[in-house]
Amino acid sequence: MNAMVIETSNRPVVVVERAWRTFQADRAPVRALRGVDFTVDTGEMVAVVGPSGAGKSTLLNVIAGIDVPDEGTVAIDGEAMPADDDDRRAALRRNRIGMVFQFFSLLEDMTALENVMLPVVMTGSGGRAAERRGREVLDLLGIGDRAGDRPPVLSGGQRQRLAIARALANRPAVLLADEPTGALDGDSGGEVLELFRRLHHDGQTIVVVTHSDEVAAGADRIVRMRDGSIRDG
């Protein structure tokens, strides 16, 4: 994989301050986040670990603007995530955040290239610019020869590479990954893990939620969550 140049600055890319999030359940409210403070510096790779139900995915969704904290604030690359404006949150997510999910979330009736082009087109770039960027990122991730194929004919590892390519298409300030190796076999998971290491080496800021000790071991810092809080040690 060729090196990718990542623009960097001295300010934190992710700042979460005193974030609380409660979900209503049948028996009692579930406090998914309890006053969480969380910061990620430029170029840092942070692994968020903890048992199921600890609040890891909720934290990732709050950072991405998919969910909104009941209290507290989120800022991405120096810009506040607006709690009361869905359109502005969506625009900030498109322009500053790349997301990778455990089960790929690819559009199966589109080719690999069209999947990667889509977020570029959604930012208003023309078709030629989107295609050029799409091919560039597919080549970067080693699947440029599968540009015309649709996701169902790709292996699990290739589909996750495609999902990562799509997440990188708009040159995000931060890449968020929720269990990126969880649905893969050992060999495919190892390939994706190596890809994340290379992206990190090239300067990409990454936050990864994982149950994998191997994935967490490649991070600069490990953040442990339990019962909606970040725990030391």
Q: How far apart are CA 162 and CA 152, in angstroms?
A: 12
3-state secondary structure of 190: helix
pLDDT of res. 98 = 94
The reported pLDDT for the residue numbered 232 is 66
pTM of the model as a whole: 0.88
Residue ranges and CATH numbers for the domains of the chain are 42-69+79-231 (3.40.50.300)
Residues in the chain: 233
DSSP 81-131: --TT-HHHHHHHHHHHEEEE-TT----TTS-HHHHHHHHHHHTT--HHHHH
User: What confidence tens digit (pLDDT) does each residue in 101-141 have?
Assistant: 877 788 999 999 999 999 898 887 778 889 999 999 999 88
- Give me the pLDDT at residue 183, please: 66
Residue-wise pLDDT for 25-70, tens only, equals 878 889 999 999 999 999 999 999 999 999 999 999 999 999 999 9
Q: Please answer whether residues 143 and 158 qualify as being in contact, where contact means their C-beta atoms are separated by less than 8 angstroms.
A: yes
Confidence label for 3 from pLDDT (cuts 50, 70 and 90):
very low
How high does pLDDT run on average in the chain? 89
The residues, ordered by sequence, that sit 6+ positions from 92 with a Cβ below 8 Å of its Cβ are 65, 76, 79, 81, 82
